[in-house]
Structure formats: C-alpha cells, structure tokens
Structure 1
Amino acid sequence: MKSSEIPTAALVLGVNVTDHDLTFKGLSEVLQDGVTPFVVSLRSKECPGIKHLMQKLLTQLMGCHVDMDSANEEECPLISPNRIRCSVASLTDWYMNVTKKTDIGTPCQKRASPPRHWDTPPVVVIFQDMESFTTKVLQDFIIISSQCISEFPLVLIFGIATSPMIIHKLLPHSVSSLLCIELFQSLSCKEHLTKVIDKLLLTSQFPFKLSDKVLQVLINIFLYHDFSVQNFIKGFQLSLLEHFYSNPLSVLCCEPQEARKRVNFLSHKQCENIRRLPSFRRFVESQVSNKQTGLLTDDGCLKETVQELLQDLHSYHDNYFPILRCLHVLTLSLPKYPLGKQIRELHCACLEKKVWETEEYESVVQLVRMLAKDELVAILENCREVIISSPAKHLGDSAEKLEEYLGRFRNLEETNDDQEGSVSSVKEIQKKTDLYHLQKTLLEMKESRRFKKLTKFEMLRFEVVDFIDSLVRKHLLPAEMQILHEMVYFSSTHILREHLNAAPRVALHTALNDPYFYLKNEALKSDAGCISNTAPDICIAYKLHLECGRLINLVDWLEAFSIVVTAAEDPNSTAKDQVDDIIHARFIRAVSELELLGFIKPTKQKTDHVARLTWGSC
C-alpha cells in the first residue's frame, strides 16, 4: 500500500438490506472495543452533499470523544456542534487535539491499542449503503481525504449489497486509484438462517416448537420476499407470543422439571382443556375402560398421566434431533440431495409425515447401499459424534452399535475372489477373440453376477443401512403423532399470514369501506351499503366511486359528495345548492388521496373525468 492510498474495506453483505443495520452496529462495537474509539457510520439519506457528510462526520466523532473523555467545553472549543466548521482543517485540528490527550493515558488509549503501523488510533468511516451515495459526494470526500492522509490515519468501509464492481462503476480510475481496496465477503443470508434455525428450533433446549406449516410459512417469506434473517426472528417471536397468549395450556410449555411442578397446580378448567386436546383424546381411546374412566373423571389420575406424557414428549425431542442430524449427514453425501440440501427441508419433511414412506427416502436407502467403504465409514463417524454430543440418554446404545460397525469395517479383510474371477474371465476373452465365443462368455459373466454371493463388505453395508433405517422409523415420527404436542407446538398459520403476508388491497378496502373496523368509533357504525356522513372524507369519496363505471365525472362526484356531507346539517338541501369552498377543498383532498393510493388516475379522453383503476369490491 502506498503512503498516499486510503485503506478501504469493501464489505459485501448481500441483498438482505434490512439486516445490514444490525451488522454494521455489531461491526462498530467490535471496532470500538478492539481497534479504535473513532468510528463513524454514515447513510446516504443523511449525506446528500459533501457539507452534510463532513458535518455528520465531525458530529459523530466529537460526540464519541465527549462520551469517553468528558472534556469541558472550555478545554475543547470544537465540542459544540453549532460551532463545527465543515472542513478537513477542523477535523485535523480536532484529531491532533484528541490524540495529544490520549497519549497522557485517557480511557481512549486504555480501551483500544493502536495498530503497529500507526502511532495513533485511526478514524474509521463506514458507508453503510455505498451504492446509494451520490457519486460526486464520494469522489469529493475521497479526494479531500487523500490530501490529508498523512496528517491523520483514515480507514474507509464500504457496505455493498450487490457486487464489488459497483465501486469502479461509481468512481473513476483517478479516484479509485487513491484507495487500497480489500474485499470481504460475509456469510450468505441462507447460512445465517440455517444457524438461527439450528440454535432455536433444532434443539431440545427450548421447549417451544413450530409446526411444519408454520415453519414453512416463515421460510417462504424469507426466500420469496426479503431474505431478512431479522424478519424471520420477528416472525418466530410473533409465533411465540401468539402461542402463549392464545393457548391456555401453554403454561406447561417449559422445562420438564418445572412442567411437573405446574401440573400439580392445574385447575379443574385446565384439566378439562387437556381432555379436549385431539392428541389426548386419541390416547384415551387407546386405553382400557377403567383407565378411560379415571382420565375423564379424576383430575388426580389425569395429572399423574400428564406428567408421564410430558416426560415422553421431552424424551421424543431428545432423540428426534440427533437422529435428524444423522439422517441429514447421510443425505448430504448423495447426488441431487433427495431429501433436501438444507437440514430445515428435512426437518419440515419429517414433521409433515412419516418420512420413510416417501419415494425420496426409498431412493436414499438405495443410494446408501451403493456407497463405497471410505464414504460409509466417514458417515458413520459423523453420526457417532452427533449422537455422543447429544443429551439423549437412550441413544447411548446406538452410539455403541455404530462404534461396533466402525470396528468391523476397520478389521474387514476384502477378498480377492471377485477380482480373480474377473481376471480369469478377461484372459478367457482374450484367448477367444471370435464374435461367437465373445458373446457367449459375456452372457455367462452376466449370469454369474446376477447370482453371485455377496461379499462381507456388502453384507455389512446392508446391515448398517438397516440399522440406520430402524433408528429413523423409531425416532423420526411426526410431531402430530405425539401426545400433548399442542402444548409446545404452534400451528396457527392463518395468524402468521394475517400479520406477515400483507394484503394491501384488502386492507385498504376494509379501511375505506368500513372505517369502524380500525378506528373503533361508535359514530362510524353504519348499515351495509349505506354511506355515513360521519365517516372520513376519503371513505365517502371511495364508496361513491364504487358506484361509477370506468370514467367518473368529477362534477357529479362532487355533487354526490356534497349531498352526503351536508345531509346531517341541512336535510332539505339538494344537489342544486351551490357547493361552498370548504366542501370543495375537502373533496379535492379526498380525490387526491385516492389518486395517490392508485384507485383513480387523470384521463385525456374527457377533461372533467377521471379513470377508475380498480374493479370489484376489494
């Protein structure tokens, strides 16, 4: 790097722009804790010009200095933002003044030790949305900063959502040559989502779970709308809130020890709610008559049974997730990923139905039975590590079984019978080169392969596949088959769609057609098909425009609006009465708002008409 170049980091974050604020916030905290206290974060909307950029830069830097040094205004006259001169000279003077103080032993020096190639902490300027900055603002700032790089150290960080090539598109070569650019690529938003799901959902540490349909709704919103991990977490929080707010039995969605204590304090009404659960009703129907009577009439018997069932549900989760990860490890080594490349896809498939009854699972089993020895051994080692690291106590025997299979693979001596047979066949073919004998020999080889005896490796491979298949069939049952799953699983997909999948046209029609639905004002109540004069002006204009055709006469629309508005004031008023200026202004404003919302537009067919853009009631 040349001495006149500005060290610059091009940080490619991806298209999930809504998560960038959180990323830069964390980056600023890391830099302030370990590199320098002088970190400035800028946005394009705050810096329309170079003057605004310099003012924002100086304001943030001085605010950071005051917080850490608590200096008096008499000692540092540049502290007041009102006296900031938006110039590089002011920035240089401030930096020289601050670094002199930090040499004495201020909190700035204790907090961040400067890098080796700098005597003082650098000033880090973060451009969060580099693509949105005006080209002239960036060029001017870089050119000015390059002239003063010898007086104070400066580091730039460009936040990029698309491609690093945007730097060379926005900046000419004369400006970009002043930067020493280093490219940094963040993890993709899909990888972040995988980590979030792995820590929140694919663990038995947290009792709250999402059903397959709810999880699929959140994943679809992520993949097809915004790629925002933060919005996915908000959707998860909404599900958590709705589950504990709307489900009375969510009081038992807690740790097993706490759940057993809470069961003893259940009221009779809560016991009745348990008896109404579909999964519990199936459980009661499978019991003998005496047990059924006790569960349906005796609260004490019910509480004892519920404690046992909750423990079974917890054990189910302890066993489910390790086996799920083992199956995922198994499918990752197969071509085309029959059960999905991501573990969330496999999780949704297992929650939806019995995964071993699907065609994809059958293809997985067939492909695994053709794996080579080294591939199969690597898979078994990964599965053993997953099971050993899991908290499930009942899977200890499975880990020992996998260790036994690994030992048998290590000690397996491959026979050379098949190889010798194939060599002798080749020699026989070489001796008989005529077409008749060649065809005859190939047919004999084909028949011998069809009825050949399995080798020891092939027999052991079949045994391993059958063992893994038995674990899948035993522990990867769908959650809906578990008793009392309603207490810990949230399955109301319509609530998520209502809050997260916005339907703006339906919401607008509801608000304009029935303002009471949102405002909850008794004066706004009206019969269906009626137009109330107490409604907001835009609601009156909207209902009147629904009665018109493709073109709407503004004069007729205004007269109808005036009649509705003045009906309560003067019942004897007619359309022939002159419309006063106030009603005229209210009508113009209502029509302008409808045009802004996209319900109407001006038309050149008739000067006093507007065209309607929507049809139907919503």
Structure 2
Amino acid sequence: MPPTPNFEDISQSVFLIPYSSPDDDSEEENETFLREARDTIDNDLEDGDLLRWEAYQSAWAKCLDKLQSIIRKLHEPVVEAIVEEVKSAYTDTLPGLPYPELPTITISNPAGGPSFFNELINQLDSSNDEVNPSTFVTHLHPVECSNIMAGMKTLITGFTDKPPDQAKTQFKRNSATSLASYDINLLDVWFTAVRNDREKHNTKVPSLVAVLHDFEQFNPSVMQDIFDICSLQIPQLPLIFIVALSSAQSPSYLHVTYPRSTLAVLRIRQFHVPFGLHILEEILRQTFFTTAFDPDVIIGPAALSFIVDYYSRYNPSLDSLLNMFQLAYLKHFMINPLSLLAKTTPAIDMLSTSFSFVDTLFGRLCTTKTSAAWHEQPLPTLIAAVDDAREVFHARVRKSRIAFEIMMVVHEFFARLGSKSIEWDSHHGTALLRIAIDLLKGRSTKHAETLSSLVRKLKFSEIRPFLDVLHAYYRDAPADIRDREEQHIDLFISGLPQEDDDQYSGKMRQLAIDIGDWLLNYLDELVQPLEELPLWELINPSIRASIISGLLRSHEFSDNVKNPEEINLWELPDTSILFRRYLDSGKMINVYDWFESFQPVLETQRRETLGPRKGSRRKRGKKVVGGNEDKWKLQVQARFIRALHELDYLGFIKHTGRKADHVIRTAFDVCDM
C-alpha cells in the first residue's frame, strides 16, 4: 500500500486528496479515509497518479493547441478589421464636420469571455515597435469608474504611468505643484512629451486606446461626462475608445442608453464577434472530425451531445467550451487507472511490479474464449496487444472521419444544386453535429441511404460534376486514402458514355445507380461502432456508462468500501434512490406516484438513523432531523425535488408539454449488475 503523500514536497506535481467528511475529527480517522481511498484504486501502477497526470497534460496540451488555433482563425478577420480601424482612426476622417468626433469602436460579444480581447490586445501589441509603439493601451473596468473623478484618474494614469520617450525615463512629479491625476491636462502634457520625442526621431505619433470592459455595467452618467471631456481634447489627444458589449449588436446598447448629445460627439464603428452553433460546429469539425488532426483522446458521443446541449441552451461562451473539454479530459484520466495507456504503454519493468494493474489489463483484453490462451502468453505479448489495440482504434476513428468528410462533400454539392440532403432539426441544434455524433456511435445507414438515394436521382448533366468533386477530394486526401478509392472514381469517369451513344440514357442512369450503391457500401464499411474494439474506453470515454454506474452503485465510489450485498436501498444517496424507482417505472412517469415510492425509503432511512447502530460514540444515536413532522415532510419534498432536478439535468427525463404532472423516461435497457 502506498505511503501517505507528503503535501509539503515541492518536487511533486500532483497529489491524491481523498474526500473527508466534516465529522472526521481525529487524525486516526483521516488516516483511515486516506488508506481506503488508495485501496479503491489498488489496481493502479506505482506512482500511477503521477503518470496519468503527465499523460493528461500531454493529451490536453495537444488538443488545446488545436482548439486555440481554430478559435484564433475564426476571430482573425474581426481582429484584423479592428486593428486597421484603430490605425486609421485619425487619418481617415470626414471633412467639413462642425467639430471633431471621438473614435469609438463597439465590439458586440454576446458569448462573453476574455479570449477575443486577449487576441485583440496581443495583435495591437504585436503590431507595435518595441521602442516606438504605435498605440498605447489602457483598460477600464466598472469598479474603477464609480464616479467621474475615479474614472478620469484611471484613464489618465493608465497612460501617464508609461515612459513618454525612448530613454524610458519617467517624470518625477511633485504633488504640491503638479496637476491632479484626474485632470485631462496632465494627459495632454504627457502626450506633448511623447509627440516631441517622436518628431525628434522622425517616427509616427502613437494613438491612445482605452478598452472599456463590461460596458453595460458602467454608470451612464459617469461615462457621458468622460466622453464629453475627452471629445474636447481631440485631435490634440488621439484618444480611441474600444467598448466591449455583451449584448446583441442590434439594437445597440450604446444607442439605447445614451442621449443624442453624447452620441453626436462619437464616431461609432460597430463590430460583431462571431458566435453561435456554427462556431461550435466548425470547432468540432476541425478538431475531432477531420483527417488533418488526430487527438490522443476522442470525446465520445455522449459527452459531445452534452457539450452541444450545454453550449446551445446555457452558455455559448468559447471559454466555457474549452473548460468543458478540459474537464472531460481531466475526468477521464482521473478515474480510470488504465487511461495512462491512451498514448504509450509502460515498460516491462514497471508493469512487472504491479500485478493488480496487469491483471485488470488482462481482464479487459481477453474474452472467455481466449482466456486460456492468454494465460500462456508472456508480458511482452500483452504490451504488443495494447499497442495493437491503440492503433486499431485510431484507424477506425480515422475511417469515421473520412466518412464524415465525404458526407460533407456530397452535402455541399447537393446544397449548391438546391437539393435537401440533410433533415434539419433541433435535436442537436444543427444537423451536421447530429450526423457527426451518429457516426461516432456507428450509425451511418440512415444518412448514407439519404445521400445514396439523391445520387441515384442525379440528372445526366450533374453526374460528371459530382464525380469531379469526389475526384478533387481524393486528390487532396492523404496517400493511404487516395490510393485505395481514387481508382473507383477514375473507373466511374472512364465509364461515362458519349452523348451520341445510342444507349446514352440507359448507361447514364445505370452509372448513377452504380455510384449511389458504391457510396452506400463505402460509407457502411467506413463507419463501425467503436465499442466493439478492445480498450476503447481508454481513448474514447463512456460518459453514459460512468453516470449510470455511479447512480446504481454509488457505494463503489465512496471512501467507505463496503460489500455490495450489505448495502440497503435507504443507505444510497437521494438521487440513486430516485433512479432505482425510475428503473421500475414505465415510459410515462407520474411525478406524484414517483414521490410516493420515494418517501417510504426516506422514512426507513429516518428510523434506521435514529435507532441504535454500530459506530463511534460521537456518531451513535445522532439525529439527522428534528422531531417536527411538518419540517420533516418539507425536507422530504425538498430532497425529492433536488433529486428530480439532478436526473433532469443528467437527461434521464423529458417533460411532455401536455401533462404537467407527468414526465417521459429517456433511458432504457439499463442493466442493474
């Protein structure tokens, strides 16, 4: 058994910290909890938590780099347009205006999150010369601008704290004789020094950019005064305001909230950060459904469905999306000791020291028919089998990605023709994501038959362009894909009859049928269920199986390891109790009947808890609830509602919309082992 970790050891990068209940008062009890927690993963390697942490870091870093590069590419057009607007704010102005306008750039970012503004600031900084920057940037937040004096001070000191010349020397101010830090003339004096230094060295005079974060939270009266004061100093002070809005672009919060007198002194340019399900679709396609990238861990269909649902219904933020991906990776490597095999296999000397780990791995690889043969194999054979399973899994996933790319090529071709090749619905928000998730489940027949039917009905004039599109895809595909299937396309192209052929119509119709049959068979061959492969859960986590296992056998995830036969129903958590009653119901569940079946279990729990039982003196006879029956009934109702909402959040029930007191069961064929 591993020793108790030394939490003061700075050389360690990861520790296993078990849960400890608030009632544990003695060090002896805490030590017992720690030993039991380590025993629950006794099939782990020595230092397995550290090895899994390193495997997680490697897998997540690879995925994160790809995700961030996709997000930067999606944001790049808007970022470049804003940077160009900043550069030309005081050079591209309208002549003949009665007074100069204060350049104001509004950025509508309903999804929120700092990722876009980090990219924008980095782009502004990267375009600057280190010695002579073309822009000085400062940031204002609502808490710093509670009144006009505080707001002006934050704005001015954000610039004046920077050195104005190449010598990087800062002004020495005398508080008795200097201007107040909230006086706009102080910024004027500082910028005069900057202008003189730039003219002396014959370089461009910089702009002053102020970024207003969470603009809806600013006091409008304070910002009106700040805008009015700053507008009186331009163009002597080349100020530019970048306004960060979390509301929709239309109607603009700026136009709705601020009076015409304030808007008249602003020259507003509006920009919109792309967001929505099409952004999520593009991110998922370029990360998990493309042959150009192969992540170490594949997000499974259940996890992807949850991510799509959460993104579309609750929080369409790219930062929260990255957090969900990271949590999925972290959870996978945290709870499964075998997950360290996702990318590499440990050496023989390391495996030979952990019989329980090897025994668990052996049990996952062999079947009842092959068990006797596996017992006779040496340890190197087991390592080779793990490596082969990893390669086979990635090869099958790669085939699924090829199938998805071909489906998208065919879909885009028919979309240009105006044909409906996909049944659009709101089950997953977008049909393309629904198809991608179905392919991970190994379900391609329905979508393949739809596309094959459309191919068979192609007009004669559309067959050659369709073959050219497929030929272009295989021409740009990797060699292992191109060499196998490009010859089929070449064969179809060579089989195109001449228009003066007497049997032109019949041959073209038969060719369209042959192409449709080939497409159907090819897609069915590419898409196979991942769950049929050995060790598939190491690379493609089964979130649904983990959730159901946790609900049915929650005691196995507890620190207090107990024989499953000794666990009574009343000892389970409320959600597990309600889920057990859920499995006993039909497709339509009456909520009141569900509550009536839940309440007796809590009554039993109450009696058993109040009665004498074995345990420590401190816990013996401890009351969980008071004697007030009314309070107890309210507590039972509250616990039922909480458990019901948890099952609802996990997706196990669906509201009918017709019967307020009924819900629909969504999970079937659950084996209670």
In the alignment, the residues of structure 2 paired with residue 173 and residue 548 of structure 1 have an alpha-carbon distance, to the nearest angstrom, of 59
Say yes or no: does 1:148 pair with 2:228: no
Residues 376-429 of structure 1: CA distance to partner in whole angstroms, max 9, x if unpaired?
6555555445445444625522134334435655xx5346989xxxxxxxxxxx
Over 3 Å counting, the alpha-carbon distance change for 1:361 and 1:551 in structure 2 is: closer
Say yes or no: does 1:16 pair with 2:127: no
**Within 5 Å, which residues of 2 pair with 1:163-562?**
163-165=249-251, 166-203=253-290, 204-254=293-343, 258-259=344-345, 262=347, 266-267=351-352, 268-277=355-364, 280-281=365-366, 285=369, 292-298=371-377, 299-332=379-412, 333=415, 334-335=419-420, 337-338=422-423, 341=430, 343-356=432-445, 358=446, 360-372=447-459, 380-391=467-478, 393-406=480-493, 412-414=497-499, 455-493=506-544, 526=619, 530=623, 547-548=629-630
In the alignment, the residues of structure 1 paired with residue 356 and residue 633 of structure 2 have an alpha-carbon distance, to the nearest angstrom, of 60
SS in 1 for 2:169: coil
8 A Cα contact 2:366 2:374, kept in partner? no
SS in 1 for 2:139: strand
8 A Cα contact 2:164 2:190, kept in partner? no
Bigger mean CA deviation after superposition, 189-198 or 175-184: 189-198
SS in 2 for 1:86: coil
* Aligned AA (1:16): A
How far does residue 269 in structure 1 lie from its aligned partner after superposition?
A: 3.6
How far does residue 220 in structure 1 lie from its aligned partner after superposition?
A: 1.4
How far does residue 454 in structure 1 lie from its aligned partner after superposition?
A: 5.6
Over 3 Å counting, the alpha-carbon distance change for 1:492 and 1:546 in structure 2 is: farther
How far does residue 477 in structure 1 lie from its aligned partner after superposition?
A: 1.1
In the alignment, the residues of structure 2 paired with residue 190 and residue 329 of structure 1 have an alpha-carbon distance, to the nearest angstrom, of 20
In the alignment, the residues of structure 1 paired with residue 315 and residue 285 of structure 2 have an alpha-carbon distance, to the nearest angstrom, of 20
* Aligned AA (1:51): M
Identity %: 18
In the alignment, the residues of structure 2 paired with residue 353 and residue 147 of structure 1 have an alpha-carbon distance, to the nearest angstrom, of 66
2:185 equivalent among 72, 84, 89: 89
2:149 equivalent among 46, 51, 55: 51
Please name the residue that 2:663 is paired with: none
In the alignment, the residues of structure 2 paired with residue 545 and residue 378 of structure 1 have an alpha-carbon distance, to the nearest angstrom, of 80
Which one has the largest radius of gyration?
1
In the alignment, the residues of structure 2 paired with residue 137 and residue 523 of structure 1 have an alpha-carbon distance, to the nearest angstrom, of 62
SS in 1 for 2:314: helix
Please name the residue that 1:563 is paired with: none
Please name the residue that 2:243 is paired with: 158
Over 3 Å counting, the alpha-carbon distance change for 1:331 and 1:89 in structure 2 is: same
* Aligned AA (2:408): H
In the alignment, the residues of structure 2 paired with residue 389 and residue 231 of structure 1 have an alpha-carbon distance, to the nearest angstrom, of 35
In the alignment, the residues of structure 1 paired with residue 136 and residue 617 of structure 2 have an alpha-carbon distance, to the nearest angstrom, of 56
How far does residue 91 in structure 1 lie from its aligned partner after superposition?
A: 1.6
* Aligned AA (1:31): L
How far does residue 22 in structure 1 lie from its aligned partner after superposition?
A: 2.0
* Aligned AA (1:49): N
In the alignment, the residues of structure 2 paired with residue 57 and residue 347 of structure 1 have an alpha-carbon distance, to the nearest angstrom, of 49
SS in 2 for 1:48: coil
In the alignment, the residues of structure 2 paired with residue 407 and residue 23 of structure 1 have an alpha-carbon distance, to the nearest angstrom, of 50
8 A Cα contact 1:319 1:394, kept in partner? no
**Within 5 Å, which residues of 2 pair with 1:595-614?**
none
How far does residue 213 in structure 1 lie from its aligned partner after superposition?
A: 0.7
Residues 424-477 of structure 1: CA distance to partner in whole angstroms, max 9, x if unpaired?
xxxxxxxxxxxxxxxxxxxxxxxxxxxxx9633322222222222222111111
Please name the residue that 2:212 is paired with: 127
How far does residue 375 in structure 1 lie from its aligned partner after superposition?
A: 5.7
Unaligned runs of 5+ in 2: 1-93, 129-133, 551-573, 576-605, 607-614, 643-673
In the alignment, the residues of structure 2 paired with residue 68 and residue 614 of structure 1 have an alpha-carbon distance, to the nearest angstrom, of 67
8 A Cα contact 1:263 1:307, kept in partner? no
8 A Cα contact 2:108 2:249, kept in partner? yes
TM-score w.r.t. the length of structure 2 is 0.60
Please name the residue that 1:518 is paired with: none
How far does residue 343 in structure 1 lie from its aligned partner after superposition?
A: 3.7
Over 3 Å counting, the alpha-carbon distance change for 1:461 and 1:336 in structure 2 is: closer
Say yes or no: does 1:27 pair with 2:120: yes
In the alignment, the residues of structure 2 paired with residue 365 and residue 130 of structure 1 have an alpha-carbon distance, to the nearest angstrom, of 52
SS in 2 for 1:188: coil
In the alignment, the residues of structure 1 paired with residue 165 and residue 193 of structure 2 have an alpha-carbon distance, to the nearest angstrom, of 16
* Aligned AA (2:116): T
SS in 1 for 2:385: helix
Residues 343-398 of structure 1: CA distance to partner in whole angstroms, max 9, x if unpaired?
43222111224321x3x543333233224466665555554454454446255221
In the alignment, the residues of structure 1 paired with residue 286 and residue 159 of structure 2 have an alpha-carbon distance, to the nearest angstrom, of 37
In the alignment, the residues of structure 1 paired with residue 618 and residue 474 of structure 2 have an alpha-carbon distance, to the nearest angstrom, of 62
How far does residue 226 in structure 1 lie from its aligned partner after superposition?
A: 0.8
In the alignment, the residues of structure 2 paired with residue 615 and residue 486 of structure 1 have an alpha-carbon distance, to the nearest angstrom, of 34
Over 3 Å counting, the alpha-carbon distance change for 1:270 and 1:400 in structure 2 is: farther
In the alignment, the residues of structure 1 paired with residue 482 and residue 471 of structure 2 have an alpha-carbon distance, to the nearest angstrom, of 10
Over 3 Å counting, the alpha-carbon distance change for 1:121 and 1:527 in structure 2 is: farther
Say yes or no: does 1:38 pair with 2:136: yes
Over 3 Å counting, the alpha-carbon distance change for 1:455 and 1:206 in structure 2 is: same
8 A Cα contact 1:208 1:253, kept in partner? yes
In the alignment, the residues of structure 2 paired with residue 383 and residue 59 of structure 1 have an alpha-carbon distance, to the nearest angstrom, of 61
* Aligned AA (1:39): V
In the alignment, the residues of structure 1 paired with residue 136 and residue 144 of structure 2 have an alpha-carbon distance, to the nearest angstrom, of 19
In the alignment, the residues of structure 2 paired with residue 324 and residue 213 of structure 1 have an alpha-carbon distance, to the nearest angstrom, of 18
8 A Cα contact 1:338 1:361, kept in partner? no
* Aligned AA (1:60): G
Please name the residue that 2:587 is paired with: none
In the alignment, the residues of structure 2 paired with residue 237 and residue 48 of structure 1 have an alpha-carbon distance, to the nearest angstrom, of 37
Unaligned runs of 5+ in 1: 115-119, 286-290, 419-452, 499-504, 507-512, 514-521, 532-542, 553-598, 600-611
* Aligned AA (2:433): R
How many residues in Structure 1 have an aligned counterpart in Structure 2?
Answer: 462
Over 3 Å counting, the alpha-carbon distance change for 1:613 and 1:339 in structure 2 is: closer
Over 3 Å counting, the alpha-carbon distance change for 1:230 and 1:472 in structure 2 is: same
How far does residue 140 in structure 1 lie from its aligned partner after superposition?
A: 1.7
* Aligned AA (1:455): G
